Amino acid sequence: MRKSSLPESLRLNGVEIADTFAEAFLMKGTRVIVTAHNEKWAHIAAAEMAGNATSVIACDCETALEATLLPDESPDGRPGVSLLVFAFDRDSLAKAVQGRVGQCVLTTPTSACFNGVSDCPKDKKISVGGALRYFGDGLQFSKKLGNRRFWRIPTMDGEFLCEDTFGTVTGVGGGNLIILGETQASALASAEAAVEAVSTVPDVILPFPGGIVRSGSKVGSKYPKLRASTNDAYCPTLRPLVESNLPENCQCVYELVIDGLSFDSVQAAMRVGINAATQVPGILRITAGNYGGKLGKHHFHLRELL
């Protein structure tokens, strides 16, 4: 293994930690709680809702499963799941949540849908059940419990219960860790360990498949129509053709992208993720992606996570 040129203070479990930062940006986020007759159908609804929602580069939002909920943790005493949804602005978030709940949750057998962000000012809420109620064709009914309004929309298996409005927060998108491994097997095992650790942290999601990105991107492209293109500096096969950021014996790179409801939640997720990732043999370096501080206001310095 190539000898490290980094100071001893930037090593964790024997792995080089680049003295850099992950650059993250502001996003609007909400929590969607889905319940169903059993855990199977709650997870089916979540999987459908989270489809094609990895990156706002080309998706309407970034969405993933946050947690599985036991019956005593859910609003209606049934098995459930919580998902976090993020978009660049509140209008885009409302459109994405309405579309995905309407097409993916409403259509799932036995499902119901609830707001997961409480104590939100009225002007920061988005309409969900209130927008979907029209599917009832005038036969929908409203029910109010305390200060929460719900819509009962008739369906062929009974009715779909959906809360009228959902709260939103200003969250953080784009926290990230980049894992450089000697082999594909070691890099993947490290990334999987990091995903498992991050999944224990509340208020965060990993929106990419299985929480892992193989196609890391850079801003811009030689093709003017593209907003992003392959991060060539981290592609092992391009080492002879570009200015590479890879050690000589690095054969594989994976990235974790983390979105959260707050700075602190993303920071906590990155901390446990970097610790788990460095405990797998065959990892050469952990680094992060930034754009010189020009992309977002939140900078997560890896030095501060050790």
Q: Which of 26, 25, 21 is nearest to 300 (CA)?
A: 21
Q: How confident is the model at residue 291 (pLDDT cuts 50, 70, 90)?
A: confident
Instruction: State which H helix or E strand residue 37 sits in.
Output: none
What is the CATH code for 8-20+171-305? Answer: 3.30.70.520
Q: Do domains 8-20+171-305 and 28-167 have the same CATH topology?
A: yes
pLDDT of residue 2: 43
Q: Name beta bridge partners: 22.
A: 300
Mean pLDDT score of the chain, rounded to an integer? 95
Say which CATH architecture domain 28-167 belongs to.
2-Layer Sandwich (3.30)
216-258: pLDDT as tens digits: 999 899 999 999 999 999 999 999 999 999 999 999 999 999 9
Q: How confident is the model at residue 6 (pLDDT cuts 50, 70, 90)?
A: low
Q: Distance between CA atoms of 39 and 296, rounded to whole angstroms?
A: 38
Average pLDDT over residues 274-285: 98
pLDDT of residue 9: 63
Domain residue limits, the chain: 8-20+171-305, 28-167
pLDDT of residue 149: 97
Residue type, 96: A
Q: How confident is the model at residue 3 (pLDDT cuts 50, 70, 90)?
A: very low
**Rounded percentage of the chain residues whose pLDDT exceeds 70:** 97
Ordered alpha helix ranges (H), 104-183? 129-132
